[in-house]
A and B are shown apart, each in its own frame.
Chain A
Amino acid sequence: MSDQPILNLTGVSKRYGTVQANKAIDLSVKPGSIHAVLGENGAGKSTLMKLIYGVEHPDEGIIYWNGEPVHLSRPSDAQALGIGMVFQHFSLFETLNVVQNVSLMVPGKTVDLARKINELGERFGLTVDPNAMVHTLSVGERQRVEIIRCLLLNPKLLILDEPTSVLPPQSVKLLFETLRKLQVDGTAILFISHKLEEIRELCDEATVLRGGEVTGLVDPREHDALALAQMMIGREMPHLGVSTSVVPGETQLRISNLSHPRATRFGTTLENINLDLRAGQIIGIAGISGNGQQELAALISGEIRAHQPDMIVIKKQDVGCLGPMQRRELGFAFVPEERLGRGAVPEMSLADNSLLTAHQKGMLWRGIIKRKVEKTFTRRCIEQFDVRTPGPDAEAGAMSGGNLQKFILGREIMLSPDVMLVSQPTWGVDVGAATAIRRRLLEMRSQGAAILVISEELEELFEICDVLHVLHEGRLSKALPVAETTAEKVGTFMLGAKV
C-alpha cells in the first residue's frame, strides 16, 4: 500500500445561496482503505460526495486524483477516472431486469454482462439473478445491483452514501463482508454514515464533518462512540432521560383483519393486518419503507378508506370508512413522513398551517377565521416546541426540515390526542431535535396517550417503544415486546420470517 492518496481534496468549498454547505474541506483517501465521512443530517456529507462525483462543482478548492488536479464537470468524468457511486436512493428502472439496468451504464453484450454479474457476485458475495425484474427484488438485492453496476466499471474508489439505512441488520453484515473483500482487492471505499457503531466496526479512517466543516480526522477504532458523537454534534450527546412506563389502559386503536389491495403496480398490498394499541403505550412498526408503511399510515389516518368500517376502530368506534377530519374529532392526530406539501402547505404562513388541523381548537366562528386565536396557538407551538423561526407569519416552505417537523409534531400534540400516529418522526432531523421529539413522545405516553410510531430507525424504536411489530411486504409480524426481543430477532422479520 503506497502512502500517496488516491483522492485528495484541499480547501474545497461550496455554497448554495446563503447556505455554506461545505467550507474549506480537506479530505484524503488512501488506496485500499475504508474511509468514513461521518456527520449528522445537514453536515454537508451529501454535498461533498456530489462534488467528488462531478454532480456539483466546488466554488473554491482543488480535487486531486492520484496527485493530479482534476476538473469534474459531470458524473461520467468521475466514472472515467475510476470513481463509482452508490446513491442512498437507488437509480434503477423497476420495469427492466437486472442486466438491462446494468447495460444502461456499462457497455457490452447482455450475455457477457450476465456472465460478469454472476462472476462478480460469486467473488464478492453479491449474488443476484441477472434476469430478475428489478421490481421483484428486495432492497438489499437492489443495492447489490447498484454495487455490481459500479464494480463492472473497475472503480479505484467506490462511494457509498448511507448504504445501511435501508438494510436489515443481517444484510448489513453481508454488505460489510463484501466491502472488506473489495478492500483486500485494493479498492478504496468512501463510506458515508451517521451510524457510529458501524463506522467503528468497518472503517480505518474517519473524517468528521459538522456544519460544513471538518472537525476531526481520526482512526475510529481508537475512539468510542461517545467521543465520535461529540465530534459529530459538537456538544454532549443529549440524553433521553428515564421514562416511567405506565400500565397500558384500554384499547384506543384496534386494527383487525385489515387487507387492502395496492393502488398502483409499485404500491404494496396489505394483507390481514392486526394490531392492538392501548392507552399509555407506544407501539413501533419497524421495517424498511416501501413494505406497506405509506399505505398503512394513510389507511389509519383516513386518507385512504378501508373496505369495512370495523377494520379500524378508534376508541370503540368503527372508523374504517370515515375521513381524516372525522377521525380527528374522535381524538386522533397524525404526523406524516412528508412535511412539505402534506403535513404543511409550503406557501402558507405557520399561522395558516396551524389552521390545517387545529381549526377545531376554537379558531373558527361560524366558519370565519379568528386570526388572534390562530396566532396565539402558533406562538405557543413555536415556544413550547423550540421551533426556530422569525414568527407565526414566516412561510412554512422557508423552514428547515427539522424545524418544520417540530412545528408539525407540536401542532398535533397540542390537539391533545388520545391516539397519535407518527410516521418517520426523525427523518432528516438533527440529533438534538430528534432526542427532543422522542422525549415528547415519551411524555405523551406518561400522560396516557396511545402512540403508534412507524420508523426505519431500529435504535429509535428500541429506545421509545413498548412493543414492536415488523411490516414486511404488506404483512405485519406478531407483537414483539421490546423487553424480550433483540435487533437480530427483528431483523429476521424484516427479511421475511413468518409468524
Chain B
Amino acid sequence: MKLRLIRRDAASRLAMFGAPVLALILTCMTSLVLFALLGVPAGKALHSLLLKPFLSWYSFTEVLLKMAPLLLIAQGLAIGFRANVFNIGAEGQFVIGALCASAFPVYFPEGNFPLMLPAMIIAGGVGGTIYAGIAAGLRIRFGASEILVTLMLTFIAIQVLNYFLLGPWKDPRGFNFPQTVMFPENALLPLLFENVRPNISLIFALLASLFAYLMMEHHFRGYQLRTSGLSPKAALYAGFNAPKMILLSLALSGLAAGIAGASEVAGPLGQLQRSVATGYGYAAIIVAYVGGLRPLGIIASSFLISVLYIGGDSATVSAGLPVAAVEVFQGMLLAFYLLTFTFIRFRVQIDRSVSA
C-alpha cells in the first residue's frame, strides 16, 4: 500500500482560512495532553495562554506592543518568501537597524539634534537594507545561498552589537553594564495610548501591510516577484530581471527589519542593550508562514503569535508552566499549520494494489 499526495485543482477559500484555525485547535488539544503529563492543570494553562491576554487592558496593549515588530518584519519576509528568496536573518538586520538608529542618541545624548526620530528611523531602515543587501550581492555575484549568508550574518551582527555595548558606546555611568545611555525624550517614539507601552511603530507596521498588499496583489512588481517564486523558468522566459528580484526581496525585508529594530530601541527599550535581540526576527518567519504569506493573513497571524507570547509569559508565572512548554506550543502551531496546509493543497490517494 502506498500513499500519494495529489495536488488539488483548486484549494477552496474556506479551507485557506480553515487551516490556521484547525492548526490552533489541534495545537490546543495536543498541549492539553502535554500539560497534563507535566502535572500542570491543563485548563488553567490554556486559560493563561489564550484568554488572559484579553482580560485586562494592560495585557492587551502588551500584545499590541509585541505585534508591531512581528508584523513589520513578517510582511517584509513574506515578500521574499513568495519570490523564493529566503531571508532567515531578519534578526541580524533588526540588530543592525537598532545599532544604526542608536548612533544619534548616543552621540547627542542631550537631544540637541534636529529631526532626531526621523533620522533614527531612516538610519535603522538603511542599515537593515544594506545588511540584507550583502546577502543579495553574494547571491547574485557568487550564487551563495542567501539562507546561509543571512543566518551567519546574524551572528556577526550580534558580535558587532556586543562590541559597541562593551566598548565605545557603553554608558560611562551605567555601572559597567553593557548598555548605552538612556535616550533623550526626543529620541522616543510617541505612544499610542496614555500610560501603556504601544507606540506608533504599530502604525508603521499597518502601513507596511497596506504597502505589501498593494504591491503583491495589484502591482506588476509584485507579480514579477510571485512569478519568480512560482516558476523561475517562466520569469526567465518573460524576461524578468532575476538579480533585481533577489535584490528587491532582500532589500525590502531588510528595510522592514531595520525599521523594526530602530523602533524597538526608540520604543519600549529606550536605550540599546543586549536584550534587543530577543528573537523577533526568527518568530517573524513563523508569523509569515502561519499567515499564508498573504499580507492580510499576516496581520491575523502576528496578532495570534503575540497573544501566545504574552499568554506564555503569564502561563509561566501563574500556571507554573516551564518556559520550554510555551516554546513547544509555538513550535507545534507551526508544525500543525504546515500539516493542515498540506492537506488543503493536496489530497491523499491510497494505492491499494497488493504486491505479488
Q: Does B219 contact A (CB under 8 A)?
A: yes
A343–B356 CB distance below 8 A: no
A57–B10 CB distance below 8 A: no
Q: Does B233 contact A (CB under 8 A)?
A: yes
Instruction: Report which of A336, A367, A368 forms a contact with B237, defined as CB distance below 8 A.
Output: A336
A356–B227 CB distance below 8 A: yes
Interface string of B198-226 (1 = CB under 8 A from A): 00000000000000000000111101001
B236–A303 CB distance below 8 A: yes
Q: Does B12 contact A (CB under 8 A)?
A: no
A343–B237 CB distance below 8 A: yes
Interface string of A239-274 (1 = CB under 8 A from B): 000000000000000000000000000000000000
Q: Does A77 contact B (CB under 8 A)?
A: yes
B142-188 contacts to A (CB < 8 Å): none
Q: Does A330 contact B (CB under 8 A)?
A: no
Q: Does A71 contact B (CB under 8 A)?
A: yes
Q: Does B5 contact A (CB under 8 A)?
A: no
- Per the bound structure, the CA–CA distance linking A343 and B220 in Å amounts to 18
B33 contact set on A, CB distance < 8 A: none
B353–A345 CB distance below 8 A: no
How many whole Å from A67's CB to the nearest CB in chain B?
Answer: 19
B227 contact set on A, CB distance < 8 A: 345, 348, 356
Q: Does A326 contact B (CB under 8 A)?
A: yes
A341 contact set on B, CB distance < 8 A: 231, 233-234
Interface string of B345-356 (1 = CB under 8 A from A): 000000001111
B309-356 contacts to A (CB < 8 Å): 353-356
Q: Does B238 contact A (CB under 8 A)?
A: yes
A324–B237 CB distance below 8 A: yes
A328–B233 CB distance below 8 A: no
B233 contact set on A, CB distance < 8 A: 338, 341-342
A interface size (C-beta, 8 A): 39
How many whole Å from A97's CB to the nearest CB in chain B?
Answer: 33
B231 contact set on A, CB distance < 8 A: 341-342, 345-346
B234–A342 CB distance below 8 A: yes
- B214's closest neighbor in chain A, by CB? A368
B356 contact set on A, CB distance < 8 A: 71-73, 77
Q: Does A369 contact B (CB under 8 A)?
A: yes
Q: Does A292 contact B (CB under 8 A)?
A: no
How many whole Å from A357's CB to the nearest CB in chain B?
Answer: 6
B230–A369 CB distance below 8 A: no
How many whole Å from B60's CB to the nearest CB in chain A?
Answer: 37
A364–B353 CB distance below 8 A: no
Instruction: Report which of A327, A336, A346, A359 forms a contact with B220, defined as CB distance below 8 A.
Output: A359
- Per the bound structure, the CA–CA distance linking A317 and B182 in Å amounts to 63
A338-385 contacts to B (CB < 8 Å): 338, 341-348, 352, 355-357, 359, 364, 367-369
Q: Does A302 contact B (CB under 8 A)?
A: yes
Q: Does A395 contact B (CB under 8 A)?
A: yes
- Per the bound structure, the CA–CA distance linking A73 and B9 in Å amounts to 29
A395 contact set on B, CB distance < 8 A: 9-10
B240 contact set on A, CB distance < 8 A: 325
Q: Does A53 contact B (CB under 8 A)?
A: no
B4-45 contacts to A (CB < 8 Å): 6-7, 9-10
A82 contact set on B, CB distance < 8 A: none
- Per the bound structure, the CA–CA distance linking A365 and B218 in Å amounts to 11
- Per the bound structure, the CA–CA distance linking A352 and B237 in Å amounts to 15
Q: Does B241 contact A (CB under 8 A)?
A: yes
Q: Does A121 contact B (CB under 8 A)?
A: no
Q: Does B114 contact A (CB under 8 A)?
A: no
- Per the bound structure, the CA–CA distance linking A326 and B231 in Å amounts to 20
- Per the bound structure, the CA–CA distance linking A398 and B9 in Å amounts to 6
- Per the bound structure, the CA–CA distance linking A323 and B238 in Å amounts to 9
Residue of B231, B240, B241, B354 contacting most chain A CB atoms (<10 Å): B231
- B355's closest neighbor in chain A, by CB? A73
- Per the bound structure, the CA–CA distance linking A368 and B223 in Å amounts to 10
- Per the bound structure, the CA–CA distance linking A30 and B227 in Å amounts to 53
B228-287 contacts to A (CB < 8 Å): 230-231, 233-234, 236-241
B221–A73 CB distance below 8 A: no
How many whole Å from A98's CB to the nearest CB in chain B?
Answer: 32
Residue of A323, A348, A356 contacting most chain B CB atoms (<10 Å): A356
A359 contact set on B, CB distance < 8 A: 220
- Per the bound structure, the CA–CA distance linking A397 and B221 in Å amounts to 23
- Per the bound structure, the CA–CA distance linking A323 and B237 in Å amounts to 9
B221 contact set on A, CB distance < 8 A: 367
Q: A325-B238, A341-B234 are in contact. Are A57 and B220 (CB under 8 A)?
A: no
A356 contact set on B, CB distance < 8 A: 227, 234, 237-238
B237–A398 CB distance below 8 A: no
How many whole Å from A338's CB to the nearest CB in chain B?
Answer: 7
- B221's closest neighbor in chain A, by CB? A367
A323–B241 CB distance below 8 A: yes
Q: A326-B239, A352-B223, A364-B220 are in contact. Are A345 and B234 (CB under 8 A)?
A: yes
Q: Does A334 contact B (CB under 8 A)?
A: yes
- Per the bound structure, the CA–CA distance linking A324 and B238 in Å amounts to 6
B239–A323 CB distance below 8 A: yes
Q: A323-B241, A325-B239, A343-B237 are in contact. Are A367 and B219 (CB under 8 A)?
A: yes
B354–A344 CB distance below 8 A: no
- B215's closest neighbor in chain A, by CB? A367
A100 contact set on B, CB distance < 8 A: none
A54-74 contacts to B (CB < 8 Å): 57, 71-74
- A323's closest neighbor in chain B, by CB? B239
How many whole Å from A306's CB to the nearest CB in chain B?
Answer: 15
- Per the bound structure, the CA–CA distance linking A347 and B234 in Å amounts to 12
Residue of A301, A327, A341 contacting most chain B CB atoms (<10 Å): A341
Interface string of A315-331 (1 = CB under 8 A from B): 00000000111111000
B219–A369 CB distance below 8 A: yes
- Per the bound structure, the CA–CA distance linking A346 and B230 in Å amounts to 8
B219 contact set on A, CB distance < 8 A: 367-369
- Per the bound structure, the CA–CA distance linking A325 and B244 in Å amounts to 14
A57–B353 CB distance below 8 A: yes
- Per the bound structure, the CA–CA distance linking A246 and B356 in Å amounts to 64
- Per the bound structure, the CA–CA distance linking A349 and B353 in Å amounts to 36
A326 contact set on B, CB distance < 8 A: 239
How many whole Å from A342's CB to the nearest CB in chain B?
Answer: 4
A301–B220 CB distance below 8 A: no
- B240's closest neighbor in chain A, by CB? A325
B238–A357 CB distance below 8 A: yes
A346 contact set on B, CB distance < 8 A: 230-231
A369–B353 CB distance below 8 A: no
A342 contact set on B, CB distance < 8 A: 231, 233-234, 236-237
- B219's closest neighbor in chain A, by CB? A367
A343–B234 CB distance below 8 A: yes
5 A-B residue contacts at CB 8 Å?
Answer: A73-B355, A357-B238, A359-B220, A369-B220, A369-B223
Interface residues of A (CB under 8 A from B): 17, 57, 71-74, 77, 301-303, 323-328, 334, 336, 338, 341-348, 352, 355-357, 359, 364, 367-369, 395, 397-398
The 10 A-B pairs of least Cβ separation, nearest first, read A324-B239, A325-B239, A342-B233, A73-B356, A341-B231, A345-B231, A323-B239, A367-B220, A356-B238, A57-B353
A57-B353, A355-B223 provided; 13 other pairs, C-beta below 8 A?
A73-B353, A74-B355, A325-B238, A325-B239, A338-B233, A341-B234, A342-B234, A342-B237, A345-B234, A348-B227, A352-B223, A356-B234, A367-B221
